[in-house]
Homo-oligomer: A and B are copies of this chain.
Amino acid sequence: MNIKPLADRVVIKMLEAEETTKSGIILTSKAQEKPQVAEIVAVGPGGVVDGKEVKMEVSVGDKVLTSKYAGTEVKVDGEEYTILRQSDILAIVD
């Protein structure tokens, strides 16, 4: 099964806290917003979104920082993903 995000959306897979620790990244958060590291698994086509041209700057495989409350969680074939807009991605880590 395959998820093809529309417009400027991307599909990300949250990396486990354990995994995160191994890679040396520990994420703290304020009150209602838990930033997390995730891996991008699908990228929408971009294009005109809400009347504005959006160019996709992230690629499949990028490790990214985002806010936990951005986007919508889905479970496909037993795996949990989050679908969110590219503008909700804060940074790429490598």
Contacts and interface: CB of A to CB of B under 8 A. Distances in A.
B6 A72 contact: no
A44 B89 CA distance: 12
Interface of A: 1-7, 9, 11, 23-30, 33, 35, 42, 44, 48, 50-53, 55, 57-58, 65, 67, 69, 72-78, 80, 83, 86-87, 89-94
B67 A72 contact: yes
Contacts of A78: 24, 26
Contacts of A28: 73-75, 80
B29 A72 contact: yes
A35 B30 CA distance: 16
Given A7-B57, A29-B72, A48-B55, 19 more contacts: A1-B25, A1-B93, A2-B93, A3-B91, A4-B93, A5-B91, A6-B89, A7-B87, A9-B91, A24-B77, A25-B75, A26-B76, A26-B78, A28-B75, A30-B72, A48-B52, A50-B87, A65-B72, A76-B93
